[in-house]
Chain A
């Protein structure tokens, strides 16, 4: 059932077995998993079914650290959350990402990859992906395109899967609307958390117009995204002076993003080198794969390197074959054309149409090149640039904080102080050196490093992945939540989403966000089932 809080007339508090604040990929997955086990869920979403500027404005805030990021537009305050504009690239975190690594301070999860594997399987289905198989070797036999002949002791191929991408608002609206176990309220902004004896007594929600409702439940979950999760805890200061869960000044700290950059280039000795394995989306038995290059984990451990997967972006001698026109406008245009061609209504037509109209120059170039490619022989490959979302190391000085400006509810807005350590880019440069060595050893060509020494931080942009602000650790002195995502200092409050990541690896986070939500459901179900029986 889906209810608009603006049209709801609350006589008394809403009561459920679990109250979830936030209907993004984590909140929706958790709600559906719990509902499937017969558990009553109250799912509260601050936004509406689609984008609403007035609600989205609550995400505005100041950026005081590295400026190549964004706090207002990269996340979406609406049903389905940021899956409303994500691009869909997926991979699980690697086993090494869970380890306490030498040379990576504050690394190490209290759980391992094997703890998440069964939940990754569940997450695959939610994100409309193929089988839970990310070992390139398991796919290789079914791929026609040749792999570069690189020494596997130096560099390996890494497989990623591509989600359609799943728009949770479209894909799961009906499931939630028709569920007897889920009551989902729209336009319900979390404005207060009442604590009673170190446990949450109720969450209070309000519409922008001031209509409020309280939700009582044995268990509460905050699933509002990597920035908002921290902002919520920090703003709840009525009963705990530093905010909920912030006894050790950890909430908001260790903010991480992926270091998005396209830098360093391989110049190939053979201009007819076949890069089709790396520069195209490969469709294998219904699963879309992207292949990148990755160092062996033994090399990362030995040289204390952060994780990275480099995707190759070919540059052709004839610009007709280059894809540098692919901006937001082109992606929107392309998705509309594909939808119309298959007789479907385009996803978010108005938004895509406007994106396309505002980028007509890129679309003109793209259309011209696509037409010309039918008549011209594919040009020679001049080079391939390395594009990546490289791992950022956890850093307590990189943080989400509360600014002095307040919103309509009197809550202080979020500020973002994204701090990138030079050592993170040093690590990426050394990673590229390893790739260059492998390319040279194979006689394929030479690599030109794009990261100077000392590094220029300006080459890095946000990956739009907000992580680490309520990090997971067994000790309350080192983490906000425990291994089950429960806030250490509150008996029945859980955090869901990428805010619990102690380290971020190099994999896009959505698959892990959904897997952790499925795992949280498995953790909550036995307790809730027992409570229901009593």
Chain B
């Protein structure tokens, strides 16, 4: 094994630093790059990746409350006004807030679904279904 020289250490540190700067700059720059398609998968990221989400998602599809086709489900969820706005934003925090507001609006307007007794907004339940479909399709 070769010796770690000062030159090597500085070189590795430099490459790592440059990589970090490049990655950060890319993330920052991408915020200003317009997207030409709705990033439905970004919405899916707003639901937790846990057993409960998978359970709700599977139950939604199995009971027929949600279509098994991700495209059809995306069209349905995307039709909701605050979700449309969420799809147009790149900020994850704002997007999450908009999804939560859409869920509140669902409850206020009586758009609810019961899964194993849990009273959920249609939006959140359908997002769980989308997450489950996406996960199983990828698998």
Does B78 sit at the interface, judged by CB under 8 A? no
B112 to chain A: closest residue by CB = A437
Nearest residue, chain B, Cβ from A449: B117
Q: Which stretch (A57-65, A191-199, A405-413, A439-447) binds chain B? A: A439-447
Taking the complex as formed, is B66 at the interface, i.e. its CB lies under 8 A from any CB of chain A?
A: no
Q: Please judge, given known A-B contacts A433-B112, A436-B112, A437-B110, whether A448 and B117 are in contact too, CB under 8 Å.
A: yes
- Residues of chain B within 8 A (CB-CB) of A438 are 107
Measured CB to CB, the nearest residue on chain B to A440 is B107
Residues of B within 8 A of A443 (CB): 100, 103-104
B104 touches A442 (CB 8 A): yes
Per-position contact with A for B104-139: 1 when CB-CB < 8 Å, else 0?
Answer: 111110101010011111000000000000000000
Question: In the complex the two chains form, what is the Cα distance from A463 to B100 in whole Å?
Answer: 39
A436 to B117, CA, bound (A): 11
Q: How far is the CA of A195 from the CA of B114 in the complex (A)?
A: 59
Q: Which residues of B contact A446 (CB under 8 A)?
A: 118-120
- The number of chain A residues touching the other chain, given as a range, is 10 to 19
B: contact size bracket? 10 to 19
Interface centre among B105, B107, B112, B118 (most CB of A within 10 A): B107
Kindly identify which residue among B100, B118, B119 contacts A437, using a CB–CB cutoff of 8 Å: B119
Q: Give every chain B residue within 8 A of A38 (Cβ-Cβ).
A: none
Q: Is A261 an interface residue (CB 8 A)?
A: no
Alpha-carbon gap, A449 to B113, bound state (A): 11
Residues in B with CB closer than 8 Å to A439 are 107
Chain A positions 356 through 370: 1 when the CB is less than 8 Å from some CB of chain B, otherwise 0:
000000000000000
In the complex, chain A residues whose CB is within 8 Å of the CB of B110:
437
Query: How distant is the Cα of A442 from the Cα of B121 in the complex, in angstroms?
Result: 12
Contact B104 A440 (CB under 8 A): yes
Could you give, for residues 152-168 of chain A, a 1 whenever the CB lies within 8 Å of some chain B CB and a 0 otherwise?
00100000000000000
Any chain B CB within 8 A of the CB of A151?
yes
In Å, the complex CA distance between A192 and B24 comes to 95
Query: Chain B residue with minimal CB distance to A435?
Result: B119
Give chain A residues whose Cβ lies under 8 Å from the Cβ of B104: 440-443
**Distance (Å) between the CB of B96 and the closest chain A CB?**
12
Contacts of B120 in A (CB 8 A): 440, 446
A433: B residues at CB distance < 8 A = 112, 114, 119
Looking at the assembled complex, report how far the CB atom of B75 sits from the nearest CB atom of chain A, in whole angstroms.
24
Please indicate the chain B residues that have their CB under 8 angstroms from the CB of A449 in the complex: 114, 117-119
In the complex, residue of chain B having the shortest beta-carbon distance to the beta carbon of A432: B119
Is A450 located at the chain interface by the 8 A CB criterion? yes
B114, A440: Cβ atoms closer than 8 Å: no
Measured in the bound complex, the distance between the Cα atoms of B117 and A437 in whole Å is 13
Chain B residues within an 8 Å CB radius of A432: 119
Give Cα A443 to B96, complex, Å.
13
| Among A151, A447, A452, contact of B119 (Cβ-Cβ < 8 Å) | A447
A-B contact pairs, 29 of them (CB 8 A): A151-B108, A154-B108, A432-B119, A433-B114, A436-B107, A436-B112, A436-B119, A437-B108, A437-B112, A437-B119, A440-B103, A440-B104, A440-B107, A440-B112, A440-B119, A440-B120, A441-B104, A441-B105, A441-B107, A441-B108, A442-B104, A443-B103, A443-B104, A447-B118, A448-B118, A448-B119, A449-B117, A449-B118, A452-B117
> What 7 A-B pairs come out closest when comparing CB atoms?
A440-B107, A436-B119, A441-B107, A441-B108, A449-B117, A437-B107, A447-B119
On A, residues with C-beta under 8 Å from B are: 151, 154, 432-433, 436-443, 446-450, 452
User: Told that A440-B103, A446-B120, A449-B117 touch, could you supply 6 new A-B pairs with CB distance under 8 A?
Assistant: A433-B112, A437-B112, A438-B107, A443-B103, A448-B117, A449-B119
